[in-house]
Amino acid sequence: MTNPTYRTGLGASDADHIWLLGHDLADDLLGKITFGELAYWMVTKRRPTEGQRALFEAVLVALADHGFTPTAISARVTYLSAPDSLQGAIASGLLGGGSRFLGVTEDSANFLHDVIDGLDELPTDDAGWDEVARIVVADTKAAGRFVPGLGHPVHKQGDPRTPRLFELAREHDVFGPHLSLFEAIGRVAEEVLGRHLPLNGAGVCGAVLADIDFPLGVARGAAILARCAGLLGQLAEEIEDPIAIDMYMNIDRNTDYQPPTS
Amino acid sequence: MTNPTYRTGLGASDADHIWLLGHDLADDLLGKITFGELAYWMVTKRRPTEGQRALFEAVLVALADHGFTPTAISARVTYLSAPDSLQGAIASGLLGGGSRFLGVTEDSANFLHDVIDGLDELPTDDAGWDEVARIVVADTKAAGRFVPGLGHPVHKQGDPRTPRLFELAREHDVFGPHLSLFEAIGRVAEEVLGRHLPLNGAGVCGAVLADIDFPLGVARGAAILARCAGLLGQLAEEIEDPIAIDMYMNIDRNTDYQPPTS
Amino acid sequence: MTNPTYRTGLGASDADHIWLLGHDLADDLLGKITFGELAYWMVTKRRPTEGQRALFEAVLVALADHGFTPTAISARVTYLSAPDSLQGAIASGLLGGGSRFLGVTEDSANFLHDVIDGLDELPTDDAGWDEVARIVVADTKAAGRFVPGLGHPVHKQGDPRTPRLFELAREHDVFGPHLSLFEAIGRVAEEVLGRHLPLNGAGVCGAVLADIDFPLGVARGAAILARCAGLLGQLAEEIEDPIAIDMYMNIDRNTDYQPPTS
Amino acid sequence: MTNPTYRTGLGASDADHIWLLGHDLADDLLGKITFGELAYWMVTKRRPTEGQRALFEAVLVALADHGFTPTAISARVTYLSAPDSLQGAIASGLLGGGSRFLGVTEDSANFLHDVIDGLDELPTDDAGWDEVARIVVADTKAAGRFVPGLGHPVHKQGDPRTPRLFELAREHDVFGPHLSLFEAIGRVAEEVLGRHLPLNGAGVCGAVLADIDFPLGVARGAAILARCAGLLGQLAEEIEDPIAIDMYMNIDRNTDYQPPTS
């Protein structure tokens, strides 16, 4: 039976060369691009513009670490239990990168994309976006669902990342329809829903990814890459100053044993 | 029983602020640092110098992807089998980041560090480093072991990343004792071992990490972070142009069934 | 702030005892129950009847290994790359336990459960089940969907596990409505769909799990536990007789490099 | 280039058959062996004797769950964060199956094996084993190391699993040299070391695995398989009665932020 061949446009090498994305890794890339730029390029197969690069790096910086999230707890207790495998501790943490804690970025991106995809033509000013936003927020509420990225359990008055990301996107000229719509949702939400709900930063990151043409099918991947660096930081800190043993022992000694009666 | 507290110097937040490394994430970091810079900073708790940042990003770029390695194969077939979990596919690939394929970087860093740690004083010129290198290579051979980072299965005449990384380290003024020793090993290896063995790029990355004061206990983590971006690229490509099904089916239909006789 | 307590009915211990499910592990369980029985008991918090135990073990045996599936390939190449972490290789394989390859069991169980849940009363004979099955198969087709567990890419004339599992369920008196419905679907499928589609074994396993009152929210977990044993076998074999290096090298050297043009 | 073939003696199938270990899965195995028996058989390629099967199942039962260990915490918080991927939560927990928490079983097995491998002939009575044990314990102490499996942080007077596993091994006639040596170590430890240290159950499990000819290179795998069932129980319980959110929030709100000064 014929042996298949395996297509890739990422990395390849022969005795004298290493190619990455069709470029000579040593001559064309090393020292000439940042890691963030490379990550965007590998995912999209397009070299980012300077604005796309800047905003992608900002998204990665925004999502890298949020203290003792489930991902950090999982990575630390796994390292405690299996210090022989740093990769296992990182993988253990990244597995928490699912629908609930890291999913907002992806969900927002897809939500905004679907709305925009359904518009016959894009609004040309804030008033036009507000009109779209009012309908979207009302329809979502009527369907018994939530607008992804709207509201935050801690930053109830406003997520500090939000205005800064809007500002950066404008400065770098990548403020497109997804950010326009999300910003409008932020303006009209209280009017439609009857209570103040801020736009959270993870949601803005989703809008940014959509506006810089990051493929939405792997939008979650941006959050995972960001968190990979964050977990490396958590584990470096755990090695220097261990606290996972306290996490574990505090949980263990507060066990409330309720055995089944059968 | 007292509830313990959990120390961290990475991320934290309250209603109005998000801190990262003691800085205001929104005001001080977003748009002002690259993702690579943040990763270094979180691991070391020191902001990198411009030279340290540049070389750290170069290491990440150098290690991001090498085509169809075990990590890429694992990520792709896992995605084929469980497309509902991008994080699972990435984690599956990163779990290959162990002693054999991604371990060279870490092993080289530790090997060079141990030699330098044992020197009473550092050589001041190439001749001095060559002398150290001759002893180290000879001793390692006598002990029946290999110098990590010496030799490459494909790049037999020379890994193209190696001279470029040396050059970058010199340009950015971070060429220190680990790179000096590794370069000297490259110069004397043929004389001592009787055959040409090039310095491989993953080994140079280890020497760079040591010279930019990256903590060696998590040196493997730099390779894992780099590969995380590479795997994201592999998976984005797999979604666009699936080949994992061919990998799987080619292996499956070439099964040679040799059941146990008992 | 109050320290919470953590409820569990599974394991707990003090200086002199280890409890599992409210029983003394040493005195009441060791040597008295099989591992399969314990697994069922821990998941359901109910000790299985002998019939439930027998069928649960049969499901685990049926799903343990299917040769070079994506899960086996991933586990083997991960072990090749990181032989220092057996747990990483197993985890890497299990991460393929998602919607596509191991998901049929779960999907079948849920599909059958939803149908039965919607019936006002259960049929009392085969003719009655056939009538329900005809409607279900026709409705599913009309909705453009497939009946989970119907059809198999290899066992086109019939999956050998299927009749045996039906027989075992009858022997052990646990043949309930889910198996009745699934069996009826097998009888009527050709008549409704116009082509022969056998009931596959993974689907029957789903019907069995539903009929032995295994919680459907973790039905996938039965397949994962089964596969955990299978992967351990794959890795023990890989250690004795390595083939992952051939998998990797064959893929690598059949790379078809198609770099992006931008 | 020639397409390699891939040897396996585990599972294979064609249109009409599924083989496992050379046997017809449907006719010869389903309903005739327990899952524990299959797991042993797949790893060793030898069908266990009834005694080997019974003790292997006892080891799996002994190691399945120990309450809120790092593996259980990691699985639960990962499920909280990514409830869309049960396999990810299980994998996250299993990644803690490393050197520290689940490693004792493997370490004990290897430690005992090495001692016995070095004996010219095996003692024939308890006095003979005690003599060997005294030397081994003294030598290990002199080398600044610990005897794996000796001592337990909670069961200071004696691990309740220990006498029961010895008893079962005797009953089933698989009490061999590894258990003999370990039991002797338990008898002489206080005399040699000057304080009471009980034989812990995980260590006895290692001795059992060695005496039932389980391959020591994958001894850790027995603990991982056992824990896989335990984690499935933990996750089924978490779904019914969620507590991971309390684990996470209690850690998060007890953060002690100590940012770096640089």
Please spell the DSSP secondary structure of A19-62, one letter per residue.
EETTEEIIIIITTTS-HHHHHHHHHHSSPPPHHHHHHHHHHHHH
Contact A7 C88 (CB under 8 A): no
Report in angstroms the alpha-carbon separations of C71 from B235, B243, C219, D35, D220.
17, 16, 18, 19, 19
What pLDDT score was predicted for residue A106?
94
Q: What is the 3-state secondary structure (H, E, C) of D51-114?
A: HHHHHHHHHHHHHCCCCCCHHHHHHHHHHHHCCCCHHHHHHHHHCCCCCCCCHHHHHHHHHHHH
B88 vs D contacts (CB less than 8 Å): 85, 87-88, 91
B4 vs D contacts (CB less than 8 Å): 254
What pLDDT score was predicted for residue B1?
54
What pLDDT score was predicted for residue C201?
95
Question: What is the torsion angle, in degrees rounded to the nearest 10, for the CA atoms of residue D176, residue D182, residue D185 and residue D190?
Answer: -140
Could you tell me the two tokens for D117? Answer: 């491998």
A180 touching D (Cβ < 8 Å): no
Distance (Å, whole) CA C124 – CA C118: 16
Write down how long chain A is. 262
Distance (Å, whole) CA A58 – CA A208: 10
Distance (Å, whole) CA A230 – CA A74: 13
Where do the H-state alpha helices sit in D194-253? Answer: 201-211, 219-240, 244-253
Contacts of B78 (CB under 8 A, 6+ apart): B88, B89, B92, B93, C70, C74, C92, C95, C96
Residue B135 predicted with pLDDT over 60? yes
CATH of domain C103-214: 1.10.230.10
User: What is the residue-level pLDDT of chain A in tens, covering all 262 positions?
Assistant: 578 999 999 999 988 999 999 999 999 999 999 999 999 999 999 999 999 999 999 999 999 999 999 999 999 999 999 999 999 999 999 999 988 888 899 999 999 999 999 999 999 999 999 999 999 999 999 999 999 999 988 888 899 999 999 999 999 999 999 999 999 999 999 999 999 999 999 999 999 999 999 999 999 999 999 999 999 999 999 999 999 999 999 999 999 999 998 6
Percent of chain B with pLDDT over 70: 99
Maximum distance among all Cα pairs of chain B, rounded to whole angstroms: 69
SS3 A94: helix
Where do the H-state alpha helices sit in C172-243? Answer: 177-193, 201-211, 219-240
What pLDDT score was predicted for residue B154?
85
- Mean pLDDT estimate for chain D: 96
Distance (Å, whole) CA B131 – CA B110: 20
What pLDDT score was predicted for residue B150?
95
Query: Where residue C75 falls among pLDDT bands split at 50, 70, 90?
Result: very high
Could you tell me the two tokens for C117? Answer: 């849940």
What pLDDT score was predicted for residue D138?
97
Helix axes B219-240, B86-94, angle to 10 degrees: 130
Report in angstroms the alpha-carbon separations of A228 from A79, B38, B224, C17, D79.
15, 12, 8, 40, 18
Please give, rounded to a whole number of angstroms, the shortest distance from the CA of A164 to a CA of chain B.
Answer: 6
Could you tell me the two tokens for C210? Answer: 């539903």
Query: Where residue B166 falls among pLDDT bands split at 50, 70, 90?
Result: very high
Contacts of C253 (CB under 8 A, 6+ apart): D1
Residue of A nearest to C89 (CA): A88
Report in angstroms the alpha-carbon separations of B26 from A55, A102, A168, A179, A186.
13, 19, 11, 17, 18
The predicted model scores a pTM of 0.97
Please give, rounded to a whole number of angstroms, the shortest distance from the CA of A194 to a CA of chain C.
Answer: 32
Percent of chain B with pLDDT over 90: 92
Residue of D nearest to A103 (CA): D82
Q: What is the mean pLDDT of residues D83-112?
A: 94
Interface of A with C in 224-253 (CB under 8 A): 250-251
Contact C154 D14 (CB under 8 A): yes
Contacts of D60 (CB under 8 A, 6+ apart): C35, C38, D36, D39, D222, D225, D226, D229
D80 touching C (Cβ < 8 Å): no
DSSP state of D248: H
Residue of B nearest to D44 (CA): B260
Residue B79 predicted with pLDDT over 70? yes
Which of B39, B85, B161 is nearest residue A30 as measured by Cβ atoms?
B161
Question: What is the torsion angle, in degrees rounded to the nearest 10, for the CA atoms of residue D149, residue D152, residue D156 and residue D160?
Answer: -70
Pick the CATH number of D49-241 from 3.40.309.10, 2.40.50.100, 1.10.230.10, 3.50.50.60: 1.10.230.10
Report in angstroms the alpha-carbon separations of C208 from A20, C125, C131, C222, D187.
50, 19, 21, 11, 49
> Is A103-217 CATH 1.10.230.10?
yes
Query: Where residue D154 falls among pLDDT bands split at 50, 70, 90?
Result: confident
Write down how long chain D is. 262
Residue B123 predicted with pLDDT over 60? yes
Contact indicator for B60, B36 with CB cutoff of 8 Å: yes
Residue B69 predicted with pLDDT over 90? yes
| CA C91, chain centre distance (Å) | 17
Percent of chain D with pLDDT over 70: 99
What pLDDT score was predicted for residue C1?
54
Tell which residue, B128, B98, B99, B104, has the closest CA to residue B116.
B128
Contact indicator for A57, B34 with CB cutoff of 8 Å: yes
What pLDDT score was predicted for residue A206?
98
Distance (Å, whole) CA D133 – CA D191: 11
Across A7-26, b (16+ Cβ under 10 Å) vs e yields ebbbbbbeeeebbbbbbebb
Beta-strand pair D11-13/D18-20: antiparallel
What pLDDT score was predicted for residue A1?
54
- Mean pLDDT estimate for chain B: 96
Mutate to test the interface with A, among C14, C257, C258, C261 (most CBs of A within 10 A): C257
Residue C184 predicted with pLDDT over 90? yes
Residue that has been written with the tokens 């190449």 in this structure:
C77
Distance (Å, whole) CA B69 – CA B219: 20
Each residue's pLDDT tens digit, D110-144: 999 999 999 999 999 999 999 999 999 999 999 99
Each residue's pLDDT tens digit, B170-192: 999 999 999 999 999 999 999 99
Where are the domains positioned within chain D? Answer: 7-47, 49-241
Phi, psi for C81 (deg, rounded to 5)? -85, -30
Contact A259 C21 (CB under 8 A): yes
Residue D238 predicted with pLDDT over 80? yes
What pLDDT score was predicted for residue D77?
98
Contact C86 D61 (CB under 8 A): no
- Least confident window among B23-32, B146-155, C244-253, D125-134: B146-155
Phi, psi for B166 (deg, rounded to 5)? -60, -45
Task: State the DSSP H helix or E strand holding residue D8, giving kind and residue range, or none if neither.
Answer: strand D6-8
Q: How many Cβ pairs within 8 Å bridge chains A and B?
A: 301
Query: Where residue C178 falls among pLDDT bands split at 50, 70, 90?
Result: very high
Residue of D nearest to C98 (CA): D87
What pLDDT score was predicted for residue C240?
97
What pLDDT score was predicted for residue B3?
82
Distance (Å, whole) CA A251 – CA A249: 5
Distance (Å, whole) CA D93 – CA A99: 18
Report in angstroms the alpha-carbon separations of D11 from A255, B112, B129, C97.
42, 46, 56, 17
Q: What is the mean pLDDT of residues C60-67?
A: 96
Residue D1 predicted with pLDDT over 60? no
Each residue's pLDDT tens digit, C120-164: 999 999 999 999 999 999 999 999 999 999 998 888 889 999 999
Could you tell me the two tokens for C222? Answer: 């039965």
Contact indicator for B56, B42 with CB cutoff of 8 Å: no
- Mean pLDDT estimate for chain C: 96
Please give, rounded to a whole number of angstroms, the shortest distance from the CA of A12 to a CA of chain C.
Answer: 7
Interface of C with D in 134-173 (CB under 8 A): 154-161, 163-165, 168, 171
Distance (Å, whole) CA A255 – CA A253: 5
Tell which residue, D2, B28, B103, D6, has the closest CA to residue C241.
D6
What pLDDT score was predicted for residue A260?
93
Distance (Å, whole) CA B32 – CA B29: 5
Contact indicator for B77, D76 with CB cutoff of 8 Å: no
Residue of B nearest to C102 (CA): B81
Which of C1, C15, C229 is nearest residue D38 as measured by Cβ atoms?
C229
